[in-house]
Structure 1
Amino acid sequence: MRVLIVYATRTGTAAKAASLLGSYFRHVKICDLEKEKPDPRIYDVVIFGSGIRYGTIYKPLMTWMDMYWDVVRKKIKGVFICNALMNEAPLILRENFSLELRNSCVIAESLGGEFDARNLTTSEKVMLKIRKKELVSGQVRDFVPCLQPDRIRAFAKAIHEAMEEKEKAGV
């Protein structure tokens, strides 16, 4: 089965996650939606990914999903986000992805996130400085400033299981 992974990123974290995830599949195409807008018709599986800024996925992914939703609706689907505050992931997924997508995808998960001060805007640095006190004091326990290989592996496994089910069903 052919797998398409499309992602939107600003700092490169979603690109890293897409690449790591893509390594689990044999026939895979990975596309940065800032550079390429692939047609998903020839793929059996479509995985959507995005970094998060202020609780929102990036516009190139929203635009691509709107453009191709009718095509990907019946395909095997997965959604990943990259965010370092893991406890915020369920809310971010709920607010950024339609109920139809969330209910029809095999898996929707945060794969972790990264904080590289060189890639942050001034306002993001100010926000991080404010949150730093909470982080240092231990008030925020779900801060995971790196990609999570075990989550990426579990994500790939869930997609593989769905692919196997579909092949067994002969659909």
Structure 2
Amino acid sequence: MKTLIAYAGKTGNTAKCARQLAIHLNNVTLVDLNAEQVNPADFEAIIIASPVYSHKFEPSVKNFIKTYLSILQDKPFAAFVTMVEYDTFNKVITREIPEALRNKAIAIENFGGEVNNLSPFGWHDKLIAKSMVKLESKKHPIEFLADAPQNFNEQLKKASWT
């Protein structure tokens, strides 16, 4: 199945996860939505991936979903995010992915994340990120979720995606 993994991000964490996921799939094209445009009509299945900053998707991912919603609804669809604030996952997904797309998604997962490079952020976003990391690190380790990519792949396999 000709699959598009459309992702974006500032720190490289989401790109790293997208590349790791692509290894387990056949006939995959990776596209960084911050660097290039792509038409999902050219693919049989779509995976979107976004970091979550302040409870929001990366703007280019949000725009991609909005622009191509009707195409995305007609194809096998899955999504993952990289975020360290686990408690807000459902809230973020509900707000950032339209209901019709969420309801047909084969998989939607949080891959967790790392906060090791804040240099792409402005001072205000750095301040928020540092505060959030301090708060979240009291609840759980700030790291990628080791089982999330495997769980995601298992859901894709069940749907005969891989």
TM class by smaller structure:
0.7 to 0.9
Note the C-alpha offset of 1:133. 5.5
Structure-2 residue corresponding to 1:148:
145
Could you list the runs of 4 or more consecutive aligned residues of structure 1 that deviate by over 6 angstroms after TM superposition? none
Deviations 1:114-152 (A, max 9, x none): 10244343223323444465456x3xx2x4422223201
Q: How does 1:66-77 map to 2 (within 5 A)?
A: 66-77=66-77
Matched, 1:122 2:123: yes
Deviations 1:89-135 (A, max 9, x none): 11111111111111010111111111024434322332344446545
Over 3 Å counting, the alpha-carbon distance change for 1:71 and 1:13 in structure 2 is same
| Identical positions, percent | 21
- Unaligned 5+ segments in structure 1 are none
CA distance in 2, matches of 1:146, 1:162: 28
CA distance in 1, matches of 2:134, 2:13: 24
CA distance in 1, matches of 2:151, 2:90: 17
Query: How many residues are matched?
Result: 161
Larger Rg: 1
Amino acid at match of 1:77: F
TM-score by length of 2: 0.88
CA distance in 1, matches of 2:81, 2:5: 12
TM-score by length of 1: 0.84
Deviations 1:59-105 (A, max 9, x none): 11111122222222121110111101112211111111111111010
- Unaligned 5+ segments in structure 2 are none
Q: How does 1:16-165 map to 2 (within 5 A)?
A: 16-119=16-119, 120-131=121-132, 134-135=135-136, 138=138, 141=139, 143-163=140-160
Over 3 Å counting, the alpha-carbon distance change for 1:163 and 1:133 in structure 2 is closer
The answer to whether the Cα contact below 8 Å between 2:136 and 2:142 also exists between their aligned partners in 1 is: no
- Output the aligned Cα RMSD: 2.1
